[in-house]
A and B are shown apart, each in its own frame.
Chain A
Amino acid sequence: MQVRKGDVKRILAACAVLGLIGIAATAFLAGWERFWANWIIWFLFLLTMGLGCLFIVALEHVVGAKWSKPLRRVPERLSSLALLMGPAALLALLSLQSLYPWTRSESLENPLIAGKAAWLNVPFFSLRAVICACLWAIAYRVLVTGSLKQDSNQDPRFNLRARRFAPLFMIIFGITITVVAFDWISSLEPLWYSDILGVYVFAGTFLAGLAATTLALLYLKSRGRLKEVGPDHMYNLGGFLFAFTVFWSYIGFAQYLLMWYANMPEEVFWYKVRLEGGWGLLLLALAVLHFLVPFFILIPRDAKSNPRFLFWTAAVMLLAHWLDLYWMIFPVLGRGPAFSWPEFSFGLLFIAGGLIWIRHVMNRGQDMPVGDPLLAQGLEFRL
């Protein structure tokens, strides 16, 4: 059966509406706590995907990479997801009272939480969320809007501007992604602390950005667009995926190993909850899907440029990234892993909504940064 273009749009819209009804029902039938836990998982999922893409764009400008010029438009377009999630983050501020224990006055009786009150209080938390969203919007404007403008005015000064701004963005990105990790994930259990969590979330963010870029690129290529992006360009993406899946595992295991060794009650309780019963199995699945499968699939040289292998690795990676967030956030509800109709509706809404948005931005303007004077060199890139 041939699916026409209008049909896909209608199916996605129907899914989104169904998801919307589902999440409304979640709030009333399953409780606000479950609603907000799902909301935070899904908004972080799309946010990190967008931020990861913004990071890929900035990375090209920082190191002066030429190979990625022909495919830069893909992460540029996907990075608008980070902008889209700005309002979602503001909405998520409503979750503070129901999900974050430090907002309750009785928790301040604990001296450890009271000591963190200067950082963990609702006004400052909200201010940080707003500032982060503004910083990302500025970065998007400089790096992505500027690049889109260059298509028509062919102004080479954009390259210089981006090259000056991108290193600054690296610092901003490092700080804001740590704030995201500490605020939205770590402070769900305010007694727990892990210095490395910011790096861990960064590793997942970058991988999510890479996986989304790879998937979108392969899809566009299958539709006959971006034909000039050859196996050598794909090989580099595959190499990045391969390297950073190891990086993610390295950081994740480093965090676990130190806490396991020290075995201090204020640290290990976080893992104790997440290693027992279904959560332990989920962690095992995470190790397999986030590390073992992509690692061993991508070891051979040819696999890194093979569209089939890349597609499945990237898809598994995105699934694993979602599982990662789910495994970190959902246990605060004090229950085992559950994937029932509330989780399904949230998935429906956010995936369908995300896809509608991505389809929208993917069809705007040029597929390649045609105004970039270095594009020709990027097209000639061979390993």
Chain B
Amino acid sequence: MSKPAAFSVVGMFDSAQLLMDAIPEIRAKTQARVEAYTPYPVEGIGKLLGLRKSPIGGMVLVMGVIGALAALSLQLWTSGIDYPQMTAGKPFFSWEAFIPVMFELTVLFATFTAGLGMLLLLNRLPMFRHPMLHSKSMPLITRDKFALAVESAGSELDVESISRLLQESGAKTVEVVDAPAPLGFPTLTFITGAFAAIVVCCVAAGLLTYWGMKLFPVSIPMVHMLDQPRLNPQHASTFFKDGFGMRMPVPETVTRGSIPYTVRSQEYAGDLANPLPRTDSVLNQGRQAFTNYCAVCHGVLGDGIPALTAAYGAKPANLVSRQMIDLPDGKLFHVIVAGKNTMPSYGADLSQAEGWAAVHYVRVLQRALNAKDEDVASVQGK
């Protein structure tokens, strides 16, 4: 291996004033980067060294604004457009509710930019070994000497002339600091070893926590969401006075967006007319409702012979029979809402529109299984 090139030439001065006097001279006579090392902050040295104003403020401002806008658009989109949900009767676009999150994200973006930007971009970290730290000058600088370093910063240094220059401008001694030998540090073995160590630590910590909690159950964490006090549907509960977990609707009120169904018996339901037109979207909605709720017993074709029937023991109605074809829409609808014999009511599961759409779809099935020649012709014509 060849001798490493010089990292910097360091001149040592006895006082801050001597150092400050030398800086403009040196800077005028060399293009290389000039750096000062002092035992305490020396006022005005930054200006002499030509340090430019840190760009960190601007970066933080820009990222802070981006953070605020990100939080704003996230909340506008999720709670106003994509999944609008009424909360406490407030409008979907409630800027008041967005402010806390905007504040937090502004701070988060700004502080991360400040911290990481300073360390990684401006301070050029991670740097594992700075050559200066191993120089002979460093112990003196931390005591009472002031150093001026002309650094190579990538290009080759003319060690001879710079040493002379430093001595001419008042340096007592001059030291040439070698460039660092290439690091044998982040090798593959090191990286795999580090990862293995992290994995081992995680597993060990997990096991330790698990067994620790098992053997010394001082405070048991809530592991299962099932193990929490709450009201279960269709279960008894001591929370309410009547002992039921579920609530009845408040008397003399109507659920928002629904029309109460007041027909008491199937007998009178025959007069109800299907309010929906037979459009594609309505029929699709009907098929959806039928497949989700009806087909499990009545079969996908509505003929009442699905696989489930044998296990269930009941005999569901054949919806495509002559009797059903002659049954008025209203009576079919009434059975969906109110139930009949062993069939339960679906009034709570299906909206009235979905019920009527399902009735339309049942008519489609009836027509399809009793198709006439002209029906076939019209389908083929398409």
> Which A residues fall within an 8 A CB radius of B?
253, 256-257, 260-261, 263, 299-301, 382
Q: What B residues does A382 contact at CB under 8 A?
A: 43
B141 part of interface (Cβ distance < 8 Å):
no
Q: Is the CB of B43 within 8 A of A256?
A: no
Q: Is the CB of B89 within 8 A of A253?
A: no
Q: Is the CB of A301 within 8 A of B57?
A: yes
Pairwise interchain contact A261-B88, C-beta atoms closer than 8 A: yes
Which of B96-104, B293-301, B319-327, B342-350 contacts its partner?
B96-104
B contact residues, total (Cβ < 8 Å): 9
Given A263-B88, A263-B89, A382-B43; A300-B97 close (CB under 8 Å): no
CA distance A341 to B89 in the complex (A): 43
Q: Is the CB of A260 within 8 A of B96?
A: yes
Q: Tell me, rounded to whole Å, the shortest Cβ–Cβ distance linking A318 to chain B.
A: 26
Contact, CB under 8 Å: A300 / B57: yes
Contact B100 A257 (CB under 8 A): yes
Chain B, 23-59, contact with A by CB distance < 8 Å: what is the 0/1 string?
A: 0000000000000000000010000000000000100
> Contact string, B99-120, partner A, CB cutoff 8 A, digits 1/0?
1100000000000000000000
- Complex CA–CA separation, A253 to B100 (angstroms): 10
Across-interface contacts of A257 in B (CB, < 8 A): 96-97, 99-100
B103 nearest in chain A by CB position:
A250
Known: A263-B88, A300-B57, A382-B43. 8 other contacts (CB 8 A): A253-B99, A256-B96, A257-B99, A257-B100, A261-B88, A261-B96, A263-B89, A301-B57
Q: Does B61 contact A (CB under 8 A)?
A: yes
- Chain B residues, Cβ within 8 Å of A263: 88-89
B172-193, CB under 8 A of A: which get 1 and which 0? 0000000000000000000000
17 A-B residue pairings within 8 Å (CB atoms): A253-B99, A256-B96, A257-B96, A257-B97, A257-B99, A257-B100, A260-B96, A261-B88, A261-B96, A261-B97, A263-B88, A263-B89, A299-B57, A299-B61, A300-B57, A301-B57, A382-B43
For B61, the closest partner residue in chain A by CB is A299
Contacts of B61 in A (CB 8 A): 299
Closest residue on chain B to residue A382 by CB atoms: B43
- In the assembled complex, the Cα of A263 lies from the Cα of B88 at a distance in Å of 9
Residues of chain A lying within 8 A (CB to CB) of residue B57: 299-301
Interface residues of B in 197-243 (CB under 8 A from A): none
Cα–Cα, bound, A253→B99 (Å): 9
Chain B residue numbers with a CB within 8 Å of A299 are 57, 61
Q: State the CA gap A256–B99 with chains docked (Å).
A: 12
Residues of A within 8 A of B99 (CB): 253, 257
**B156 → chain A, closest Cβ, in Å?**
38
Smallest CB separation, A271 vs chain B (Å): 11
Interfacial chain A residues near B96, Cβ < 8 Å: 256-257, 260-261
Nearest Cβ in chain A — how far from B65, in angstroms?
11
Nearest first, the 8 A-B pairs at minimum CB distance are A260-B96, A257-B96, A382-B43, A253-B99, A301-B57, A299-B61, A257-B99, A261-B88
Residue of B nearest to A256 (CB): B96
Using Cβ atoms and an 8 Å threshold, which residues of chain B touch A253? 99
In the complex, the chain B residue whose C-beta lies closest to that of A254 is B100
Q: Mark B139-177, 1 if CB is under 8 A from A, else 0.
A: 000000000000000000000000000000000000000
Q: Which residue of A lies closest to B64 (CB)?
A: A299
Distance in angstroms from A370 CB to nearest chain B CB is 25
